[in-house]
Structure 1
């Protein structure tokens, strides 16, 4: 089943730009330019307390008052920029020509070490037009984590935030974000694309799972083109609607659930540099967003903000929602903000939310929805490397079937073993636990015990445990995740020391001078990890609780933490 019409993402952008050019040729008024915007970027600077929101009732009013075209985009305020498809295409072509001038060619790799930004989107499409493989790197990563991505991919070039350049120790060409626009604007606005096929590799997207280190998901041009079609039909996104997102660019969610469907539908995509609890709902109202997306921690933080006069005068049809939340908290949020949650479930490997609500039916919360088109999903038990499909209301592993490189990722980059082990009987094994009911509605129950999810980031507990166990006095380490009342998740490490004799009961050791020194050294080790992976508390035990197979009983560790 061939769903997309274009061969690649460069061709997709060219077609959009041509239609935009024709529309502007017929009517070049500022209002028509506003109606043809495809991308708005808000810097969300700390020193600006949303002055534009106080000055104007909406972004449309601000645009018509202050928009000035410069350097190939509309400058609205110091921290807001906007583009239509024609402008975006020109900047992408200039960037593609710049990359070519740096000696880069098809199948080379360019890494992005950037926060959400206009520069990210331009680089993203410039790589796709050039046949270059794009490698987005989590901008929270530290030196060791970036070095790991380099060792896996051997990227040829990197564009990084100025303050992150210090982490780039690998011997590659590099460019600071502050020099990006200045560098590309010197180049021509037309670009001749090399031949690029739908199943050619577009991107290597790293995602943490149950293995010790992140794995690189191979994402094809078809995958991303398909994502635009799939999600716009799932959420019913319409021309001239507004999709606002603060999700990070190194996640498949921002790309496949927000950016690509917005561009496909000729909607306006509003990209926030970051999530600000204080401003988020004001931004929803100001940009007149029809759709946005949240995770549990965002909802809890939004609820804590002071009410403002226009907070219920939003234009949201719904909020896309990922992960679990109690029914009580859901009802509190819905009562105050008068908006439904549109639930969705997917992974980097499934590209989109293959299970979810759909815009023409009633929202199904707390269910995660039904299987949407192009996928087959079952719940199964795994026995002797075979799947045993389960019936309604039986708990098991969520397993997803699709075609590699089309509906599913194309495998893990240079990792045939992990790719092979991720599939059984043609299904991708999610390692998530769930069930479905008699109405074919699916429910998410829990994640694999070795996978931690914090604020939308997948974290392998094994990666942290291996790092802590490298300390000369630690015999074994085991980590779990707990949540406080605000749904602010934190990682707790339980540590078994080499010199302490085992006893039958699991006891917490009081921190004497020696243990405090070990803890200090572990904190130093901890700093080598991205902030979202760092351990919040270290607990020393005389031994870790294990089952008869020798595996650590993490449920017992959770009980130990709860008692102390």
Structure 2
């Protein structure tokens, strides 16, 4: 297989893009306070270089790890790319993590020498002027005017630096650029090791997948510490020479106005966004936008999809991937046929197949585990950090990744996602998809959202439990829900337990945290 990255690094990519694009806008950041910051390729590269020089002055060496715990802001990207330019490793931390969870990741990571954080997270790292014994030598406050003892003011110290990089350390595409810890929706988070080659390939792949051009404007509300923001929005925009519009916080009321006012040509949505936008009052102007594609992932019913596409005059671009695969490895084609509810076909350089419990490839239309083939460290993650056993279970020596997800492929090569393996319910010998039950429940006119899990059953292995959020102003009881289920699904799939709630626990990307429901 041809290597389309070669030995390029993130530093090389920025040098190229600045030379090509110069004063063209690379980033527009819309803050929670509605303050708007805009940077050209030239200007932002200078900010990255100043940040890299700050890290150099702190003694950050090649291979050192630096934690970043920031809300969406330009300083996150300055730190990410600044570290990459000097061969250091970014360890992004979810802003929703507790102190205990942060400590777990820092300990698991090993060798974190500095942290760039929001002031509100200071108690996690710094108590009564003392830095905990976690190996972190430098604490940088990114968006604070304060001069807290024991910390470094990021902005003041960055501004004192020259705009040219002080040191061009020898780097290769195989060098590690990031350790990204998974959300841990079902277990403790694992550190996904991502190289410079991984980042560049992800940018090339997604730019190809979405047919990105240098006049594209990609608007996203995804958090910067998430793989989606980094590898599926920022990197492809950088590769294509386009403009990223980062909106700090999602608002259903304002999102489509932002699409309109920023003249976005590409955006991305998840089911929660689509459902909340559909609840907003319809506007005469909402179809008069510049959008070419709406990048989409996770489960949505056909009714929801059709209604959204019709109302907003858009089409959804379906894809499937995970942090370990870097990108939406299976997805719709940049041109040609789409086949909803299929998640598409394997993209550029990838292979995929469906495997049974014994490791045998299954025939069409038979549910099994989705396997993806790529090159570790190039088109797939390199490994799990400090976890050879988990790496061995996920990556086979011949490059096949075991996703842990259930799906099937039809006779024409279209793949279909059924459910996460951990979400499959075993009931009296039957395999039940929680997603399938959730989709049926979501068709009830009074149900806003549903989450389904398996709970222990002494007789039938597992029973089905459904958590329901009822639409505002509606009244619905358990008996009505059960009757609806009995009329719309097989008897063995009907929930044994129903709990009506006001809300559901979520991750930063609005996924339901099912482990907390259990």
State the TM bucket, normalised to the shorter chain.
Answer: 0.7 to 0.9
Following superposition, the deviation at residue 418 of structure 1 comes to 0.6
Aligned ranges 1:82-481 → 2 under 5 Å: 82-154=38-110, 155-168=112-125, 170-171=132-133, 172=136, 173-179=138-144, 180-191=154-165, 192-208=167-183, 212-383=187-358, 387-424=359-396, 426=398, 427-449=400-422
Conserved 8 A contact 1:127-1:134: yes
Correspondence for 2:148: none
Following superposition, the deviation at residue 506 of structure 1 comes to 10
How many angstroms apart in 2 are the aligned matches of 1:297 and 1:176? 32
Unaligned regions of 5+ residues in structure 1, if any?
A: 22-32, 49-78, 453-479, 497-501, 508-554
Conserved 8 A contact 1:130-1:194: yes
RMSD of aligned residue pairs (Cα, Å): 2.8
How many angstroms apart in 1 are the aligned matches of 2:249 and 2:424? 25
Q: Taking structure 1 as reference, are residues 491 and 150 closer, same or farther at Cα in structure 2, changes over 3 Å only? A: farther
Question: Is residue 42 of structure 1 aligned with residue 16 of structure 2?
Answer: no
Which one is further off, 400-409 or 169-178?
A: 169-178
Q: Helix, strand or coil: the match of 1:559?
A: coil
How many angstroms apart in 1 are the aligned matches of 2:16 and 2:262? 26
How many angstroms apart in 2 are the aligned matches of 1:227 and 1:503? 47
Q: Helix, strand or coil: the match of 1:344?
A: strand
Following superposition, the deviation at residue 309 of structure 1 comes to 3.4
Equivalences, count:
438
How many angstroms apart in 2 are the aligned matches of 1:83 and 1:344? 30
How many angstroms apart in 1 are the aligned matches of 2:455 and 2:368? 28
**TM-superposition CA deviations, 1:226-247 (whole Å, max 9, x none):** 0111111111011111111111
Conserved 8 A contact 2:21-2:241: no
Question: Is residue 4 of structure 1 aligned with residue 5 of structure 2?
Answer: yes
**TM-superposition CA deviations, 1:114-133 (whole Å, max 9, x none):** 11111111111001001011
State the TM-score, normalized to the length of structure 2. Answer: 0.79
Q: Helix, strand or coil: the match of 2:355?
A: strand
**TM-superposition CA deviations, 1:337-378 (whole Å, max 9, x none):** 110000010111111111001221133321101111211111
How many angstroms apart in 2 are the aligned matches of 1:451 and 1:99? 46
Aligned ranges 1:476-495 → 2 under 5 Å: 488=449
Which one is further off, 421-430 or 318-327?
A: 421-430
Unaligned regions of 5+ residues in structure 2, if any?
A: 127-131, 145-153, 426-433, 464-490, 501-518
Following superposition, the deviation at residue 212 of structure 1 comes to 3.0
Conserved 8 A contact 2:186-2:422: no
